[in-house]
Every structure is written in C-alpha cells, then in structure tokens.
Amino acid sequence: MQFTAQQISLIIGGRIEGNANATVTSFGKIEAAQEGQLTFLANPKYEDYLYTTKATIAIINEGYALERKVEPTLIRVKDAYSAFAQLLQKHQEMVTQQMKGIQQYSYISESAQLGEDVFIGAFSYIGENVKIGNFSKIFPGTYIGDNVIIGENCIIHPDVKIYHDSVLHNHVTIHAGTVIGSDGFGFAPQADGSFKKVPQIGNVLIEDHVEIGANTTIDRATIGSTCIRAGAKLDNLIQIAHNVEVGNSTVIAAQAGVSGSTKIGKNVMIGGQAGLVGHIQIADGSKINAQSGVSKSLKEPYSAVTGSPASDYTNALRSQAVFRNLPELEKRIYELEKIIKQLMAERVNFGVNGE
C-alpha cells in the first residue's frame, strides 16, 4: 500500500492541512507510529501523542483545536475513528482481491458452482450443490456442507465449518473455528428418565454485512431457520441456539449465550458473558450489561438492564449504592436503637417519679 495525503483525503472526504503529497505505506498507533505511517486521533486520552508522533499523516476530527505545532500532515474529518476504519477496510479489500483460484488438495464437488474470482484455500471441502458467489474467499481447512449457498464478497476464514443447507448472503465475514448449522440442543424427556433426540431439520440464515467472530457456534433450527439479520456483529465464543433470531445491526460481545427460540430486536447491545433464556423477546435498542442473566422478555424499546436476574439498569445502580452503604446504615440503626431505648427508659422513670 502506498497512498498520498491527497489520495487518502479523497477516499475519506477529509480536508488536508500540510503537505498534500506526503506518502504513507502502512498504519501505526499514534504513540508508536514511525515515518511513512498513517495514524489517527479519536480518543482524547491520547491527544498528547499528536505533538510527539513521528507519523507522516494523522487523521483527526474537524473540531479538534491544536495547542501547538504538529509535524504530521493532518487530514480533518467528521469522525476520525470511522475514517480510519474505512481506510483499514480498503486496505483489507486490496489484499483479499489478490486472492484468486483454487489451491491444491482441496475437494470440490462436480455439482458445486463457483462464481468469478473465487478463492478456495488448500484442504478445503466443498460439498454437493454448493453455490459460492463472485469474489468470495474460502480460506484453508474450511468445510462447506451440501446445498450451502454463500453470496458475493464473503470471507470464510480457516477451519470454519458450515453445515448443510446453510445460507449466507453477501459481504458476510466468518472468523476461524466458527461452526454454522450444527444441531440445536433438542432432546425430548422420556418416561424412563432418558432423552430422545429431536431431529434438527432446519437451517441457518445469515444476511448481508454480518460479521461473526472466532469459535462462535450458531445452531440450525429444529424447523425453519435460525436467523442472523443484516448488519449484526457477533464477537468470539458466542453460542446462538436453535430458532434464535438476532435483529438488524445488533451487536453481541464475547462469551454471551442465547437460548432457543429467543427473538432479539434490531440495534440491541449485549455485553460479554450475558445469558438469555429461551422463548423470550428483546425489544429494539435494548442494552444488556455484561454478565447479566435475562430471564424474561424486555418489552420496552431502548431500555437498559443489568444483573442476574436482570433488572432496570438505573434502579440496579441505586440498589448497588445502597448495598455498599449497608454497613454504615447498620451502624446508624444500631445507634438509633440505643437512643430510642434510652429515651424509653427516661420516659418510664419520669412517669414513676412524676407520680
């Protein structure tokens, strides 16, 4: 990669302050960037580094007021963090676009259909009737089961397993070790105390622009589809059970678990290690704090909950404040009890002596 400040400003819609012909070939953190690197400043915590960084070009917010002279060429944008992310995305696309063709020792069924400029990495397995869209990249060691459909511009990283009948739309990214379409956890209790497996004959549907982290599992539906809607982002080590629906642009952090048939609305934020029971509904825009246990539906849109069992976030904070003060409150109650006993004793004595 080699870009000038002028070229970068055209990509991200920025305004240049300094040398428009300054050139960069790589990226760097603002506190460690060297000459020839591009960096950015979005967090005020790091603003002192703007005056000491050796980066050649720095992206900053439009309204940032300089306290003194800076060495890098500046590109001002509305949102430095988003602009930098856009450039990283552009760089990644340039790298992956160069990956084409089929590496040796891959198995591709004769009935599979591969689009234009598809990449299939070594030791991959492509099953019967699989369809892979234009420009999609399948990294080494990946298993794609029968009848799977993968759209255009998808990236499937190493050792991903996609079971039969799963459907991925366009611009889907799945990171290493993730399993899509494994059986849902369905077992019927029997009279003798044993469990009989309920066949899972549904599939998994993943819509456009979804990204799924490493070692996440998404179970196929018993009947119908487990659905991950457009724009959703799932972190590493997440469990999504059968017949769950994750709404548009919802984000779920690592180690969270969602039980069967739960419906999560759009623009929901779920913190790490949160757990959701089955057969509940989570309203649009809900925020579930890390390590929360959600045992009932959240019906009010854009509400926030925390704790286990999860309760209103603001009320929970108030309760925590009271809890922290319990030792002091206990002491004050004890002192008040002593005063009351003393007053009662004085009253009795006054009554006796007053006669």
Catalytic residue annotation: 242
State the Cα–Cα distance between residues 291 and 240, nearest whole angstrom. 16
State the Cα–Cα distance between residues 198 and 3, nearest whole angstrom. 57
Structure tokens at 26: 């790589």
Distances (CA, A) of 331 to 4, 210, 321, 345: 68, 54, 16, 21
Considering only CA atoms, give the Rg of the chain: 29
DSSP reduced 3-state for 151:
coil
State the Cα–Cα distance between residues 97 and 315, nearest whole angstrom. 51
| Number of Cβ within a 10 Å radius of residue 27 | 16
Residue in 179, 141, 175 with CA at minimum distance from that of residue 156: 175
DSSP reduced 3-state for 203:
strand
Please report, as a single letter, which amino acid is at residue 281: Q
Cα-Cα end-to-end distance for the chain: 102
Task: Answer whether 220's CB lies under 8 Å from 199's CB.
Answer: no
For tokens 């899509």, name the residue: 180
Residue in 109, 213, 107, 222 with CA at minimum distance from that of residue 160: 213
State the Cα–Cα distance between residues 259 and 238, nearest whole angstrom. 11
| Number of Cβ within a 10 Å radius of residue 292 | 25
Distances (CA, A) of 159 to 56, 141, 151, 153: 38, 5, 19, 18
Q: Is the dihedral of CA 312, 315, 316, 317 positive or negative?
A: positive
Structure tokens at 208: 């456009």
State the Cα–Cα distance between residues 329 and 317, nearest whole angstrom. 18
